Structure 1
Amino acid sequence: MNKGTLAKISGFANIIRGFVESVEKGAPAAVVARSVYEATGILKEYTSDNTPENISKRDNLLELLKAVDDFTDSSRESGDDRGGMSDFLAEVSLLTDQDTPGEDADCMTLMTIHSAKGLEFDCVFVVGVEENLLPSQMCRSNADIEEERRLMYVAITRARKFCMISYARQRTVNGQSGSVIPSRFISDIDRRFLRMMTGTSPDTPRQRPVRPWDEPGLRPAERKPKAAESRTAQAAPATPPPSQPRTSASDEFGLHIADDLKEGMRIQHPRFSTGTVVRVDTESSDHRVVVDFDNDGQRRTLLLKFAKFQILT
């Protein structure tokens, strides 16, 4: 083994040794994760070339970093000392470890649309049917859009008996939260075959985000409102359209300040469901609220500058 190879191996070993020492000293998981990213330059590796593959890998790395940050913040906010990298890995393993199910096992199969080609299931759930996901934000021509439309067809036709199509109200990408626009492909489906859930509509008038590579042919066709819908809009002109969310209203998920809250209030969180406010903490610079949630009986601390929820009473 030549000196150059030995030097590289020695440098790599020193980097790993530094990570181990950081973990043994009890550094938070987020600190360790960021030191790994910085020392290895793994994130920079995928920023020099914006190919679809590199963008996907970069997004995965950022999503992993966000998960570690969330774990560290949650541990710190709840006063839990178990916020190290070993604790994070233990929690992740609990979420992902599962025995290989048999053919008759009561389970769910998670797969991509591409890997589902040729397969069929009694029930299929197609999630994330949103603009910039399906169709992908990488679509740059009508041909790309048509290919994504064929993928949507593949996904739906995997179902023998039941198919549910869903989209999120809000989504966090690369640490940035924003409202979501339902995919144009939903409005392509014949109404006779759709049963919309409460509060959803394939024709919800929303404004698409402006992208520099947008072409007129890529924009979804505008639909004329029905006569009944027009009369409703004229009868209640004070009601803002769905494309302009009322961020300060208490009947929508949004950010709130400490003055909006008090002990005993009932709130609804988009992930943790309903709960009761037990304390509003304004002593620190980052105001937070402590909530007892009904669904799992857990008491959680929410940072008001990040947590979006709905005030019920």
Structure 2
Amino acid sequence: RENLEELISAVREFTDNPDTPDTLSAFLQEVSLLTDADSGGDFDDKVTLMTMHASKGLEYKAVFVTGLEEGLFPLSGAMQDPEELEEERRLFYVGSTRAERYLYLSYARSRYRYGEHQSGVRSRFLDELSSDLLQTEAGEPFSPKQDRFQRAGGKGSYTEMDPFYYRRPLGGAKGPSERGRTHNTKPVRRATPKAKPEGRRIVYDAEHTGELAPGMQVEHGTFGEGRIMAIEGNGAQAKAVVLFKEVGEKKLMLRFAHLQRIG
């Protein structure tokens, strides 16, 4: 049953993406995985997708380790068993040390799992890394305690998922999301509450989408400032067409967009 629910989640994500054609052949092409190990030959100018176990003994110029969320990496079952948790930690080390030059570490604030949308908590493995060795996507230093779900008492929790975690802005006072990398790139603009105290963040409400309207100036955590060109749909399917200054026109699901009104 879990496999069927994951399949439904994948289909739903695919059909919700306005940039992909809603055809069976396009979906099958999206999910088809052909690795270099399957086809043979060298690894130059190709992407190899594999499990942590399969990566042992191999090295690549750039490595992407994804899904670094509690319950996914480490797995939920391993979080309750010290020996299994240590095995997960060892696999994380194996995967990370496959990189010769560039290592990218990423996690999702929310994702479809088992047929439903779930918020997530960043993996403890990221917090165990030295912040001196990491930079965020915006080129800022990595803060191990940043964006951690806090209880009322102030202590972070690795065992509970905050149902509104994915609604909060990415990053703390400096505003970056955490994605480890080992080299500098052009900074990506991020929304920062301190930089724009006059801004009013729009929290999505399935029953009320009238707070946003065409012509409004808004800011997005990734795409920067823009103007709303149109509002499409309503309720959980409501979308905003936004013309951003730096990246052009984007169509965003309001429940995930976290737009901040600035004008």
Q: What range describes the TM-score normalised by the shorter chain of this pair?
A: 0.5 to 0.7
Alignment-mate amino acid for residue 241 of structure 2:
V
Tell me, in whole angstroms, the C-alpha distance in 2 between the residues paired with 1:74 and 1:192. Answer: 37
Tell me, in whole angstroms, the C-alpha distance in 2 between the residues paired with 1:276 and 1:74. Answer: 21
Aligned-residue RMSD, C-alpha: 4.0
2:63 alignment counterpart: 124
Tell me, in whole angstroms, the C-alpha distance in 2 between the residues paired with 1:187 and 1:286. Answer: 34
1:173 alignment counterpart: 113
Alignment-mate amino acid for residue 231 of structure 2:
V
Alignment of 1:1-313 (within 5 A): 43=1, 58=2, 60-72=3-15, 83=22, 87-93=23-29, 96=32, 103=42, 105-139=44-78, 140-198=80-138, 200-204=142-146, 205-206=148-149, 207-208=156-157, 210=159, 250=201, 254-256=203-205, 257-267=208-218, 276-281=227-232, 288-292=238-242, 300=251, 302=253, 304=254, 306-313=255-262
1:268 and 1:311 in contact (8 A); partners too: yes
Report the CA distance between 1:264 and its aligned residue. Answer: 2.3
2:112 and 2:118 in contact (8 A); partners too: yes
**Structure 1, unaligned runs of 5 or more:** 1-42, 44-57, 212-248
Alignment-mate amino acid for residue 65 of structure 1:
I
Distance 1:291 1:185, change over 3 A: same
1:30 alignment counterpart: none
Distance 1:144 1:268, change over 3 A: farther
1:280 and 1:288 in contact (8 A); partners too: yes
Tell me, in whole angstroms, the C-alpha distance in 2 between the residues paired with 1:285 and 1:156. Answer: 41
Q: Deviations over 1:13-36 (max 9, x none)?
A: xxxxxxxxxxxxxxxxxxxxxxxx
TM-score, normalising length from structure 2? Answer: 0.61
Distance 1:120 1:273, change over 3 A: farther
Alignment-mate amino acid for residue 310 of structure 1:
L
Distance 1:153 1:170, change over 3 A: same
Report the CA distance between 1:202 and its aligned residue. Answer: 1.5
Distance 1:93 1:268, change over 3 A: farther
Alignment-mate amino acid for residue 99 of structure 2:
A
Report the CA distance between 1:93 and its aligned residue. Answer: 1.9
Distance 1:286 1:143, change over 3 A: closer
Structure with greater helix percent: 1
Tell me, in whole angstroms, the C-alpha distance in 1 between the residues paired with 2:224 and 2:27. Answer: 22
1:275 and 1:291 in contact (8 A); partners too: no
2:9 and 2:112 in contact (8 A); partners too: no
For the residue of structure 1 that corresponds to 2:77, the secondary structure is coil
Tell me, in whole angstroms, the C-alpha distance in 2 between the residues paired with 1:90 and 1:202. Answer: 39
Report the CA distance between 1:123 and its aligned residue. Answer: 1.6
TM-score, normalising length from structure 1? Answer: 0.52
Report the CA distance between 1:163 and its aligned residue. Answer: 1.5
Tell me, in whole angstroms, the C-alpha distance in 2 between the residues paired with 1:133 and 1:270. Answer: 25
Q: Which shifted more, 100-109 or 125-134? A: 100-109
Distance 1:301 1:250, change over 3 A: closer
Q: Deviations over 1:267-312 (max 9, x none)?
A: 5668988764222357x6767234156588666474x5x4443235
Report the CA distance between 1:67 and its aligned residue. Answer: 3.1
Distance 1:137 1:285, change over 3 A: closer
Q: Percent identity?
A: 30
Q: Which shifted more, 201-210 or 265-274? A: 265-274
